[in-house]
Amino acid sequence: MIYLDNSATTKPKKEVLDAFVKVNEQFYANPASLHEMGNQAEDLLESARSQLKELLHMKKIVFTSGGTEANNLALIGTARNYQHRGKHIITSETEHPSVLKTLAILEQEGFEVTRLSVGDTGEISMEKLKKSLRNDTILVSLMHVNNEIGTIHPIADIARLLRKRRIFFHVDAIQSIGKLEFDSTAMPNLLSVSGHKIHGLKGSGLLAYSDVEIKAVQFGGGQEFGNRSGTVSVPNAVALAKALRLTSPHPLISKWNHELRQFFSSFNGVKIISPKQAASHILAIAVKGTKGEIIVSGLQKELIIVSTSSACSSKNNQESPVIQAIGVPREFKDGVIRISFGEFTTEQDIIAFKKAFQRVYRVIKGV
C-alpha cells in the first residue's frame, strides 16, 4: 500500500514509539505526585516542555489531546481573558472547523467575528485584514498552511502588523510545523501543534504561547499551571518532543510536487487546485465531471491511498468550505482529491502513483 494522505495523519516513527513505550514502562507515575517516582515523571515532563519551547521559539507550553483542543483553548481562553479590552475577533473563511465552530460558540457569548474572504489561491488580502482591524479587536486567528490546498499565509508579516496594534495572534500551525521554517523574530502569540501530523502519536498536541495569558476551559485539579486540568500524559509529552526533534523536511518533496504538476497538466480533464506557491507537501487537484470519492476508490484498488479533502470533512456530503471559498468551477468542484507527502514517501511511490492515476483516469473517462 502506498500512503499519500499524510495531511490526514502520518505513520509514527519507530523512535517516537520506542520513547512512548519506554516512558510508559519506566516512568508511569503521576507527575503531580509528591513521591520520588512522581518527581522523576515530572522531571521528564518538564524536560519535554523545555525542549518544545526552544524548538518552537515560544515561552510557555500547555499539553493537549491534539490540535482541536489546542485551537479551542487558544480561542476561548484568550477571548474570555481579554474581553474587557474588546470583543472583536478576525479569522478567515477557510479555517479548520475546530476554529470556525469555536468562534461560532464565542459569537453566542457576545463576541463579534469577522471572517475574511480569500482569493482563488486561498490567501487573505493583507489590505482587507488591515481594514478589518478595529480598536476593539483582541484576536486574529489564521492557519499557517491550509489543510486542503496548501495555501501559505505570511505569518511573520501578520505577526509584526498585529504586534504594533497590541492584538493577539493565534496560528493553527498543524500543517506547517516540521515542514516550513518559522521566523523566530516574528512569532505569533499562540501556536497550535498536533503530534500525529509530524510522525508522532494521536492524542498528543500542544498550545504554545508567549506574551499572552489564557483562561482555562477545562477544570479540575489545576494541572498545566491551571490551564488544563487532568493528569498529564508524560509518555505523550515525551513522544511529542521526540517527534518534533526528529522532523526534517523531505528534500525531494518540492521536486515531486513540481513533477506531479507537470504530469497532471497533460490531462485535459484535470485542474490543479493548489496554488503554485502552496506548501509542497500538499497537492490538490480536481477531475472534471466526476466525484472525488470515485477517484479515491479507484486509486485504493490500485493500492494508493489519497483523500478527497481534509480527513475531518471527507465523510460528510457537504461541499468543502475551502473549495467553495476559492471558487473552483462547478464542473470540477466535486472531483477534488488531495495528495499529501510525508517523510516516508519515496520516489517509487510517486512513479507508482502516476501509473495508477493514468489507469484510473482511463476507466473513469472511458478513454
* Enzyme catalytic residues: 312
- Copy the grid coordinates of residue 178: 516540521
Q: Is the distance from CB of 152 to CB of 125 less than 8 angstroms? A: no
Burial class (CB in 10 A: 0-12, 13-18, 19+), 300: middle
Helix (H, G, I), strand (E, B) or coil at 6: coil
88 CB neighbour count, 10 Å cutoff: 20
Q: Which residues contact residue 45 at a Cβ distance below 8 angstroms, ignoring those fewer than 6 apart?
A: 31, 232, 234, 237, 238
How is residue 224 written as a grid cell? 498545566
The grid coordinates of residue 179 equal 515542514
Please give the Cα distance from 179 to 172 (Å, whole number).
14
Query: Considering only CA atoms, which of 346, 2, 65, 44 is closest in space to residue 203?
Result: 65
User: How many Cα atoms sit within 13 Å of 180 on the Cβ side?
Assistant: 23
Query: Cell numbers of 196, please?
Result: 500525529
